[in-house]
Chains A and B, each alone.
Chain A
Amino acid sequence: MSKTVLIVEDDNELRRGLGLRLRSFGYQVAEAADGYGAVSVARQLQPDLVLLDIGLPGGDGITVLDRYSQLMQLAGIPVVVLSGRYPFVTEPLLRKYGVSAFLRKPADNDELRAALAAALELPEAG
């Protein structure tokens, strides 16, 4: 059975594009435009992974991650983060928030595919 990815992205068009792309990778896709929407969707659907866009300027994204992890209480669900900023974060910090990978926007589709598969510990398809 294919895995479900919850895309949390506030830009409508990018969310649509990512949805199409992830479906082409063979994933089921659920969508949310913000943290609050993400929580209610996540509670209903129990996604296997969250693709989270935290493209906010300023800071290193950790404050945002903190807010999201509290909001979503998704302990145990792997998170792949899309960011507008180059992250220089440490592995322990990534692990603390369950973040498997940081990708910089615009994400290279092959990198995205590899990051999702690695986060879900799947052998890479194709």
Chain B
Amino acid sequence: MADGATVRAPRVDDASRFRLLIVEDSPSDAMLLRAELEEGPLAGAALEHASTLDAALTRLAAGRYDAVLTDLGLPDSDGFATFDAIVAAAGDAAVVVLTGRDDEELADEAVVHGAQDYLVKGHRRPGDLARAVRYSVRRQQLLTELRLARDDQLAEKDNFLSHVSHELRCPLAVVHQFASLLGDGIAGELNAEQLDLLSVLIRNVDQLKAMIDDLLLANRAGRDTVAIDPDVVDAAQLLADTAAAFGPTAAERGVRLDHDAGPLPLVIADSKRVREILTNLVENALKFTPRAGRVTIAAAAEEGFLRFEVRDTGCGIDAEALPRVFERFYQAEQSDSISRNGLGLGLFVCRDLVRRQGGELTATSAVGAGTTMSFTLPLAVEALTRVGP
């Protein structure tokens, strides 16, 4: 912001150019406010008046204000309900609460919840109102600037990590390919020791790949910035697509990949996120299932929800580790047969995504008996009834 590179909503430092909304149902109080504001530093400011909450919300929706001065007792709303509605509609405008002597506690509460200040009717000195408004506007502007600057920085960080992740993949792909070409004897047979050294190289390249895969996930995990865009989703299509996407991988690992092929009820979810979740779970299942094993993707309706399951016949998770698999950065014990570890973020992010769509993600497992990852999503019952004849 310092270099003024981005233009935001124009800052009005000159109080005489403020645009104010007064929300007050008592005509005499409203007149007194106007009189006070028309003298002093706010003289010349644009003053608008609404005497009901409804009228106030209409004006707030239609225009941009620097400050809203509001009484909380209105004919169509009272107390905190008024306050909540005004703050929700005020956007970047500073909210100043006008209160009677008896309501100071309420007004104090309002400041804790987002009002910039409160003023007690009939107990103001000349100049108090103007000063309160000017400083409230200034403080609110600072809050807005901070928020915008933070959003800018987060977007920049996202772009940077995305860019870095993509750039790293290319040299990584080259190292991986040439190491494996050597290891496969394309440029001549290697002796046992050479193959051994090369296997260390390749294992670490796999590790790098997994960590880069997680670099983007790490950026998103723990922040609410991944948008959930709910819609009516055809779960059967998602199962089929996931199974198709992992077909080649499963085949080459010698693992049988099954999925429920029948029709399924519609759900309310973000299809992109559900694909991510299914991809993550199936990837894990394949990773931990040995040759001749099986991974199954299934779904069945329960009360109000569709329950998805990814079941594998892999090595399983022991009772002690099971409650911890959803922890951020938790990773399974390193094993020689598992070369890709990444940063351990997958299930943490998946659970967050499921919850934000109104469901829950759980795991059941036992050592040597395989694992079942299960998550629910709300059924699109309303959508079904709307689609009727």
- Give residues in A with beta carbon < 8 Å to B: 11, 13-14, 17-18, 20-21, 24, 55-58, 84-86, 88, 90-91, 101-102, 104-111, 113-115, 118, 124
Judging by beta carbons under 8 Å apart, are A114 and B252 in contact? yes
Nearest-CB residue, chain B, relative to A101: B248
Q: B174-213 vs A: 1/0 string, CB under 8 Å?
A: 1111101100101000000000000000000100010001
Q: Which of B172, B174, B252 contacts A111 (CB 8 A)?
A: B252
Interface size band for B: 20 to 34
Judging by beta carbons under 8 Å apart, are B275 and A88 in contact? yes
20 contacts between A and B (CB under 8 A): A14-B174, A17-B173, A21-B177, A21-B181, A55-B169, A56-B166, A57-B163, A84-B165, A84-B169, A88-B272, A88-B275, A88-B279, A91-B240, A91-B241, A102-B245, A105-B169, A105-B170, A106-B173, A109-B180, A114-B251
Task: Collect the chain A residues with CB atoms within 8 Å of residue B275's CB.
Answer: 88
Task: Collect the chain B residues with CB atoms within 8 Å of residue A101's CB.
Answer: 248
Q: Which of B162, B172, B251 contacts A106 (CB 8 A)?
A: B172
Asked if B143 lies at the interface with its beta carbon under 8 angstroms from chain A, I say no
Say what secondary structure dominates the interface of chain B. helix
Task: Collect the chain B residues with CB atoms within 8 Å of residue A91's CB.
Answer: 240-241, 244
Judging by beta carbons under 8 Å apart, are A111 and B248 in contact? yes
In the bound assembly, the distance between CA atoms of A88 and B238 in angstroms comes to 10
In the bound assembly, the distance between CA atoms of A85 and B173 in angstroms comes to 13
A80 to chain B, nearest CB (A): 10
Nearest-CB residue, chain B, relative to A113: B252
**Residue in A14, A55, A56 with the greatest tally of chain B CB atoms within 10 Å:** A14
Given known contacts A88-B275, A114-B248, A14 and B170 CB-to-CB distance under 8 angstroms: yes
Asked if B276 lies at the interface with its beta carbon under 8 angstroms from chain A, I say yes
